[in-house]
Amino acid sequence: MVIISNEKNMSRDDVVELYTSGDEELYTDYDELYQSILGSDYCITVRDENRLVGIIRSNGDGNMNQYIAEIVMHAGYPTHGIGSKLLDTYLNETADVSKIYILSHTHYRTSFAKTWLQYKGFKLLAETESIILYLLDREIKY
């Protein structure tokens, strides 16, 4: 059973298992990563039973701008809709945030990722050899 939560109820071991599930090592300092996750403004997780299988987290100025640090899905769940569940829940949680950015060095460059993010409302703002930048710009009535 898949459970989506906005609580930071994960252990360091949960984080290490998720972030090392794929072929690419995303981080080397998992203590620092774990502390960064706990300190994030927004953090949405997906669990399958007791296993952490997805996370999206962001930081920002509190109300107008949020910067998604990452969207990570467990490599053992490639076509289970985890990414969409994470992003949809995150966008609902941040409904009062007008600008949401995704800045990445390597991820979100595939045609699938670009199409998926555009389908979710993000616009590709810039792409260079080293960086790719997306923006979801929502009109919020304050």
Q: What is the pLDDT of residue 91?
A: 96
SS3 71: strand
Instruction: Identify whether 43 is part of a domain.
Output: yes
pTM: 0.89
Number of domains in the chain: 1
- What are the pLDDT digits (tens) for 39-78? 999 999 999 999 999 999 999 997 799 999 989 999 888 8
Q: What is the pLDDT of residue 95?
A: 93
Q: What is the pLDDT of residue 81?
A: 86
Higher pLDDT, residue 1 or 74 = 74
Compute the chain's Rg from CA coordinates: 15
Contact 62, 41 (CB under 8 A): yes
- Evaluate if residue 133 carries a pLDDT over 80: yes
Q: What are phi and psi of 137, to 5 degrees?
A: -110, 105
Closest Cα to residue 42, out of 12, 20, 65? 65
Average pLDDT over residues 114-124: 93
CATH number of the domain enclosing 93: 3.40.630.30
Higher pLDDT, residue 141 or 73 = 73
Domain of 93 in residue numbering reads as 2-137
Instruction: Identify whether 16 is part of a domain.
Output: yes
Instruction: Identify whether 142 is part of a domain.
Output: no
Confidence class for position 113, pLDDT limits 50, 70, 90: confident
Instruction: Identify whether 58 is part of a domain.
Output: yes
Confidence class for position 108, pLDDT limits 50, 70, 90: low
